[in-house]
Copies of this chain bind each other. A is one copy, B any other.
Amino acid sequence: MLDVTLAGCGGTIPLKSRWLTSCMMRYNGKCLLIDCGEGTQIAMKEASLPFKPLGIICLTHYHADHISGLPGLLLSMGGEGRTDPVIIIGPGNVQRYISSLLIIAPELPFEVICVPINEKVETFAFDGFNITAFHVNHTMTCYGYTIEIPRAGKFDPERARQNGVPLRVWNKLQKTPSVEYEGTTYTQDMVMGPPRRGIKVTYCTDTRPVPIISAQASGCDLFICEGMYGDEDKAGRARESRHMTFSEAASLAAAAPIKPRRMWLTHYSPSMPDPEAYIGEAKAIFPDAICGRDGMSETIRFDNE
């Protein structure tokens, strides 16, 4: 199962009542965080999210509201005793941004490994998370992320017998890709059924609507998407600032080849004190949309788990 927590749901500037948008995913004792604006470490504390097991930070882009909390968070992670390396994934020259910001955190007790995204779509796998970064359309280079937890097929004794796999290696073969036994190599697919549906979350903020978002969100358990403006009168403002309205975000969900199971809106403009007032605009297009809020959390389980 995957725990997803929206630590904050604000855009542009942190407010007294709304932290900047960031999202933590927890799986099997490991944590992945998307974005880290000013105050994210406090938002994480408010949402009871742990610092020490955070091993992967994915950055959508380098506007301050998505990254300015990074030095403080890394220092606090060190303060909590983390010594294992931390991977930071971000567009282009991520090393340059991180090195610059770490001028005020020069002595972290762990290694920071920067992983650049250079292609329009790029995939990574760390700590059990399969990560797909996909290029979106903002005022600076920006990426969305799909996070997947794959699920292996079920052990199939009938298949094992048909493939002549000796009983002695059945158990071991469920955990390792291949086993050598009495001069023969047996592979996992000889004993396992086809991979099962895993868990999939697609996340994007700071973008105009572009088709790749719908493609990425296809069949996901949860689609977390920016909705900078609820009021349709702000559609022009959304276009200018390369953001989206609630209805544009909902249209992306509705256009996915396989509909997302549910959708959270986030990254609200500071000019919108009550996003709930506009949720009707989104629900009219995609009924399973709801307004994200600070600390909103959900545990997503494998089907039939």
The 8 A CB mask of A65-76 against B (1 = contact, 0 = none) is: 101110110011
Taking CB atoms, residues of chain B closer than 8 Å to A67 are: 104
Given contacts A16-B46, A69-B38, contact A64 B97 (CB under 8 A): no
Write out, one digit per residue, whether chain A residues 92-110 have a CB within 8 A of any chain B CB (1) or not (0). Answer: 0000110011011100000
8 Å CB contact of A41 from B38, B41, B72: B38
Contacting residue for A72 out of B45, B64, B79, CB 8 A: B64
Is B101 a contact of A97 with CB atoms below 8 Å? no
Judged by a CB distance under 8 angstroms, whether A255 is at the interface is no
Given contacts A16-B45, A41-B13, A101-B100, contact A68 B64 (CB under 8 A): no
Q: Are A16 and B38 in contact (CB under 8 A)?
A: no
Q: How many copies does the complex hold?
A: 2
Q: Which residues from chain B contact A103 at a C-beta distance below 8 Å?
A: 62, 96-97, 100-101
CB within 8 A of A64: which of B12, B13, B16, B71? B71
A121 within 8 A of partner (CB): no
8 A Cβ contacts from A9-37 to B: 12-16, 37
- The residue in chain B whose Cβ has the minimal distance to the Cβ of A104 is B64
Instruction: Evaluate contact between B42 and A79: CB separation under 8 angstroms.
Output: no
Interface string of A226-259 (1 = CB under 8 A from B): 0000000000000000000000000000000000
Chain A interface residue count, CB cutoff 8 Å, equals 31
A10: shortest Cβ distance to chain B, in Å? 11
**A63 sits at the interface (CB 8 A):** yes
Question: For residue A14, which residues in chain B have a CB less than 8 angstroms away from its CB?
Answer: 39, 41-42, 72
Question: Which of B15, B46, B64 contacts A105 (CB under 8 A)?
Answer: B64
Query: Which listed residue, B15, B45, B63, B101, touches A101 by the CB 8 Å rule?
Result: B101
In the bound complex, what is the Cα–Cα distance between A15 and B79 (angstroms)? 14
In the bound complex, CA of A39 to CA of B43 (Å): 11
B residues in contact with A65, CB < 8 Å: 72
Contact of A68 among B45, B63, B68 (CB under 8 A): B68
Q: A45 to B41, alpha carbons, bound, how many Å?
A: 19
Given A16-B45, A37-B72, 7 other A-B residues pairs in contact with their CB atoms under 8 A: A12-B79, A13-B76, A15-B45, A38-B72, A63-B104, A64-B72, A68-B72
